[in-house]
Chain A
Amino acid sequence: ELVMTQSPGTLSVSPGERATLSCRASKSVSNNLAWYQQKPGQAPRLLIYGASTRATGVPARFSGSGSGTEFTLTISSLQSEDFAFYYCQQYENWPPSWTFGHGTKVEMK
């Protein structure tokens, strides 16, 4: 069973600072990795897919990197609207399945 581990659980950052979130897969997922942002009471929003491609309308301050088992989401300069939960999610080709990490909370320092 594939396990996605996100770290840290909580990240305290000041506005304008860089935030770096990590996601590790228990086995290689190639570049089948997505990142989502979720604010309280809202549905998740797709930020990054294919490990590094920004979804439509996502600001350039969000970037994704990595492949295989180690992935990173970087927010270059945190804005007030970026304080939220972030989840990574992998896709396995066969049989098709999707697995989410447990999430990282980005909070204001």
Chain B
Amino acid sequence: QVQLQESGPGLVKPSETLSLTCTVSGSSVNGGYYWGWIRQPPGKGLEWIASLYHSGTTYYNSALKSRVNISLDTSKNEFSLELKSVTAADTAVYFCARVDIVAAGFPFDSWGQGTLVTVSS
């Protein structure tokens, strides 16, 4: 059974870079899946941030594209998120998830528990 676990600082200063890592167990990040990041501001809904394929091809939410970078580390079986120039509006719970590319509509079938990142000085 696949498990995903987010890790990274819980507090980031405004204008700095938010960096998170998702460690995957029970599935290979090189195993033919998409992997993604989704966030949820406190009390609000879900927002897709970015996804990447096992080949390393990346796809970004157009609203965040200029500030986001995601990458894969197959040696550690993990993938990462960087979000630059953060503001208070980037305060959210950040989830990593796996995309089931066999299922119609490419749903997120497995999720990490989420990690709260607060942007504050």
A residues near B (Cβ < 8 Å) are 1, 31-34, 36, 38, 42-46, 49-51, 53, 55, 87, 89-91, 95-103
CB atoms of A101 and B61 under 8 A apart? no
CB atoms of B51 and A96 under 8 A apart? yes
B residues near A (Cβ < 8 Å) are 34, 36, 38, 45-48, 51, 59, 61-62, 95, 97, 100, 103-109, 111-114
Q: In the bound complex, what is the Cα–Cα distance between A38 and B44 (angstroms)?
A: 12
CB atoms of A53 and B104 under 8 A apart? yes
Q: Which residue from A49, A53, A100 sits with its C-beta under 8 Å from B48?
A: A100
Q: Which residue from B46, B104, B113 sits with its C-beta under 8 Å from A100?
A: B46
CB atoms of A32 and B48 under 8 A apart? no
Given contacts A44-B108, A46-B107, contact A98 B45 (CB under 8 A): no
CB atoms of B107 and A89 under 8 A apart? yes
CB atoms of B111 and A43 under 8 A apart? yes
Given contacts A99-B48, A101-B45, contact A49 B112 (CB under 8 A): no
Residues of B within 8 A of A44 (CB): 46, 95, 108, 111
Closest A-chain residue to B4, C-beta based?
Answer: A43
Q: In the bound complex, what is the Cα–Cα distance between A40 and B104 (angstroms)?
A: 28
What are 26 residue pairs bridging A and B, where the CB atoms are less than 8 Å apart in the complex? A32-B104, A38-B46, A43-B111, A44-B108, A45-B111, A46-B108, A46-B109, A49-B107, A50-B103, A50-B105, A51-B104, A55-B109, A87-B46, A89-B46, A89-B107, A90-B105, A91-B105, A91-B106, A95-B59, A96-B51, A97-B48, A97-B59, A98-B36, A98-B51, A98-B108, A100-B45
